[in-house]
Amino acid sequence: MVARTWLVPYTDAERGRQQLLATIYLTHNNVTGQLQLDVRADSKVVVDGGRARVVVGKGHTIPFSVGSNVGRCSVHPKTTGFDYSCTFGGEQVAEVQRRPVAWLEAFQPTAVSVSVQDRVEFRAGKNYYQLAVQADGGEPKLYRKRYSEFAEVHDKMKQAYVGSHLRASLPAPPAKILNPFFDQLEPTFVQNRQVELNDYVKKIITVPRALAQPALLDFLGLALRAPSGEPVDLLAPPPVDLLNAPLDAPPMPPPQPVFEEAVV
């Protein structure tokens, strides 16, 4: 499974000329070929065929619109796998993973603090962990989460970082218990898992670009926002990202002088 995210600007006549932000989220199961496009914005969104199936060697394009703006997400076959692209208003948009970390900070939630509290609820034979989330100087919010939800968001984050060297930086959640006879309600086990989940969420939000990924934002109950102040040209080619840019080859040393022995 592969996930790709783009941020695109748009304006809506009903909202004045204020610059707004839409999130384009494409998922592709490169085994079954299942393709799905999800567009999130404050204005009317129309996606023409948001679900499709792409077979090996074939490409596919899904048109969409946000307000009066038209875009296209495409899957392009290559020798090994696929490439993904998004255009908006006829311009190519860079993926989130190709944007500099500093560039994304204008859109991400700020002052994000997360923790899994030591209070665990037992309901219908299942454990529910209390996830506390605070951001943008607001009040903390509590969410009840099962272990399976932590595991699911981890899988989605791995999909979002396919092809990125940062994928190795993603922390791993506690291991899944496969033994059906293991007592997962045992107090010591529950306490240890709570500590491990707390460590996981604190680490995952520190990974570069993590807080620009829809999967993690949904899990934390957060959202991207349009920048305030001067409009940002999201369609402009991104500046060089030192985290992803290939290193230039080191300069060749100057040739050593050759001294010929004088003939007397």
Q: Is residue 229 part of a domain?
A: no
**DSSP designation for 95:** B
Residues 124 and 83 in one domain: no
Residues 68 and 133 in one domain: no
Of 2, 5, 29, 51, nearest in space to 217 by CA: 5
Q: Is residue 234 part of a domain?
A: no
Q: Is residue 264 part of a domain?
A: no
- At residue 245 the predicted structure's pLDDT band, cuts being 50, 70 and 90, is very low
User: Which structural domain range is residue 62 located in?
Assistant: 2-94
This model's pTM is above 0.85 = no
Q: Is residue 99 part of a domain?
A: no
Residues 176 and 205 in one domain: yes
Q: What is the pLDDT of residue 232?
A: 53
How many angstroms separate the CA atoms of 192 and 173, rounded? 12
Task: Dump pLDDT digits (tens) for 29-56.
Answer: 878 889 999 999 988 999 987 788 887 7
Q: What is the CATH number of the domain that holds 129?
A: 3.30.1520.10
Number of neighbours of residue 118 by Cβ within 10 angstroms: 12
Task: Dump pLDDT digits (tens) for 148-187.
Answer: 999 999 999 999 999 899 999 999 999 888 778 888 888 8
Q: Is residue 256 part of a domain?
A: no
Domain count, the chain: 2
* Burial class of residue 101, CB neighbours in 10 A (0-12, 13-18, 19+): middle
Q: Is residue 104 part of a domain?
A: no
How many angstroms separate the CA atoms of 230 and 232, rounded? 6
Residues 117 and 208 in one domain: yes
Residues 120 and 186 in one domain: yes
Q: What is the CATH number of the domain that holds 88?
A: 2.40.128
Q: Is residue 225 part of a domain?
A: no
Q: Is residue 178 part of a domain?
A: yes
Q: What is the pLDDT of residue 176?
A: 87
**Residue that terminates a domain, selected from 94, 123, 154:** 94
Residues 124 and 213 in one domain: yes
How many angstroms separate the CA atoms of 15 and 234, rounded? 19
Task: Dump pLDDT digits (tens) for 97-143.
Answer: 988 888 888 889 999 999 999 989 998 888 999 999 999 999 999 99
